[in-house]
A = this chain, B = another copy of it.
Amino acid sequence: MAVTPTSAPTTSRPGMFRAAVAGASGYAGGEVLRMLLNHPRIEIGALTGGSNAGTRLGELQPHLLPLADRVLEPTDAETLAGHDVVFLGLPHGQSAAVAAQLGEDVLIVDCGADFRLHDPAEWEKFYGSPHAGTWPYGLPELPGAREALKGSRRIAVPGCYPTAVTLALIPAYAAGLAEPEAVVVAASGTSGAGKAAKTHLLGSEVMGSMSPYGVGGVHRHTPEMTQNLSAVAGERVAVSFTPTLAPMSRGILATCSVKARPGTTPQRLRQAYSAAYAAEPFVHLLPEGQWPATSAVLGSNHALVQVALDESVGRITVVSAIDNLAKGTAGGAVQSMNIALGLPEELGLPQTGVAP
């Protein structure tokens, strides 16, 4: 294949939006680029990295061949200037400073946590730093969120676990079928832990092993789930959340158990889920009897959902599957970007998984 330009093109073609990606060497940044490469209205501008500035992208993201010869630039205001959209895939706490340097008319899509939570106390409890603020939340399926995203120039992309869990439980809480306490056990692929080299994330350690972490309500995604589900339920929903690390690169399988409210029947339950997602382009209630597998959404922006009522114990079990990097991060980011820019919501987003 012939070589590609080493620097970003500096002019936009008509009808195109020019997008920069800060943190292009990480897993979130790489997946944003994979999505943008297939987006018909996006032109890829500056790519920046921290310690990787100066490195060819082909060394860091060898799967993104069309950008292989691009060289990462430093993450600074000068580099990020002149774009219509800037995606931030930065460590927690760094987004606010970068955003402050960009204009108010630039669409900033933050894949980090900084602007997700409403409650400063919750932020400070879980992140230990001052709260930076709250931006429109990039989960269009959450009631009210799609409207807030329209025309917005700031987007807080949800966490991967909150995406999977919120999509699993919206219909049950919106229809008033569940008590306000959710027990969630979710398995995630290792890419959710990022690309920094850590011993416990070595292939030797994770292959053939399942392990929990952040047990007992201490995982930072817990307040985000609580915020989302409480908003839907109209009352505070307590969330007992246990994340587990699974021996796979991608995917989240979220198993959610809630006590059914009196009067809940299998028919009412199914009807609530069917109605809630009939018009959603990226959430798919499976036919009865078929349960989600993460392999079916690898690389895809879809969420798969299935629900059952266990009448012997009076509990509802909902399972959802997403690709943590796609619908759980970069796909959700691009879907929200489309809404913010007034583009068709599905534009450029992968509709199929890569399986087997």
Known: A64-B353, A210-B251. 12 other contacts (CB 8 A): A1-B281, A34-B354, A183-B183, A185-B185, A190-B202, A197-B198, A202-B202, A205-B356, A210-B293, A211-B294, A215-B317, A217-B311
Q: Is the CB of B216 within 8 A of A280?
A: no
A342 vs B198: C-alpha distance when bound (angstroms):
42
Q: CB-CB contacts of A199-215 with B at 8 A, as 1s and 0s?
A: 10111111111111101
- Nearest chain B CB to A27's CB is how many angstroms away? 6
Q: How far, in whole Å, are A242 and B184 apart by their CA atoms in the complex?
A: 11
A216 nearest CB across to chain B (Å): 3
Q: Is A277 among interface residues, defined by CB-CB distance under 8 A? A: yes
Q: Which of A13-21, A83-91, A142-150, A298-306 contacts B (4 or more CB under 8 A)?
A: A298-306
Q: Which of A209-232 contact B (CB under 8 A)?
A: 209-213, 215-217
Q: What are 24 contact pairs spanning A and B, CB under 8 A?
A: A2-B279, A56-B287, A61-B355, A62-B290, A62-B353, A63-B300, A187-B187, A190-B203, A191-B204, A196-B199, A197-B199, A197-B202, A208-B248, A208-B294, A209-B293, A210-B251, A212-B253, A212-B291, A215-B291, A216-B317, A239-B313, A242-B317, A249-B355, A299-B299
Residue from A68, A249, A251 whose CB has the most chain B CB atoms within 10 Å: A249
Asked if A100 is an interface residue, CB under 8 A from chain B, the answer is no
Q: Is A335 close to B, CB under 8 A?
A: no
Whether A302 contacts B65 in the complex (CB less than 8 A), given A246-B187, A284-B1, comes out as: yes
Cβ 8 A contact of A64, one of B183, B253, B352: B352
Whether A327 is near chain B, meaning CB under 8 Å from some CB there, is: no
**Shortest Cβ distance from residue A335 to the other chain B in the assembled complex, whole angstroms:** 13
Q: Does chain B have a CB within 8 A of A131?
A: no
Within 8 A of B (CB), among A238-266: 238-240, 242, 244, 246-251, 253, 255, 257
- Closest-CB distance, A308 to chain B (whole angstroms): 3
- Using Cβ atoms and an 8 Å threshold, which residues of chain B touch A356? 27, 30, 191, 195, 202, 204-205, 249-250
Q: B308, A215: Cβ atoms under 8 Å?
A: yes
Q: Which residues of B contact A296 (CB under 8 A)?
A: 62-63
What number of copies of this chain does the assembly contain? 4
Q: Are B195 and A352 in contact (CB under 8 A)?
A: no
Of chain B, the residue at the smallest CB distance from A323 is B354
Nearest 10 interchain pairs by C-beta: A63-B353, A216-B308, A209-B295, A211-B293, A203-B206, A185-B185, A217-B310, A210-B253, A63-B355, A62-B296
User: A207 — which chain B residues lie within 8 A by C-beta?
Assistant: 190, 203, 206-208, 247-249
Least CB distance from A312 to B in Å reads: 5
Q: Is the CB of A294 within 8 A of B209?
A: yes
Which of A205, A286, A355 counts the most B-chain CB atoms under 10 A from its CB?
A355
Q: For residue A293, which residue of chain B has the nearest CB?
A: B211
- Is there a chain B Cβ closer than 8 Å to A297's Cβ? yes
Q: Give a binary string over A60-91; 1 marks a CB under 8 Å from any B CB, 0 the rest.
A: 01111110100000000000000000000000
Q: List B contacts of A56 (CB < 8 A).
A: 287
Instruction: Looking at the assembled complex, report how far the CB atom of A214 sits from the nearest CB atom of chain B, in whole angstroms.
Output: 9
Instruction: Verify if A273 is at the interface (C-beta below 8 Å from B).
Output: no
The answer to whether the Cβ of A181 comes within 8 Å of any Cβ in the partner chain is yes
What is the distance, in angstroms, from A61's C-beta to the closest C-beta of chain B?
7
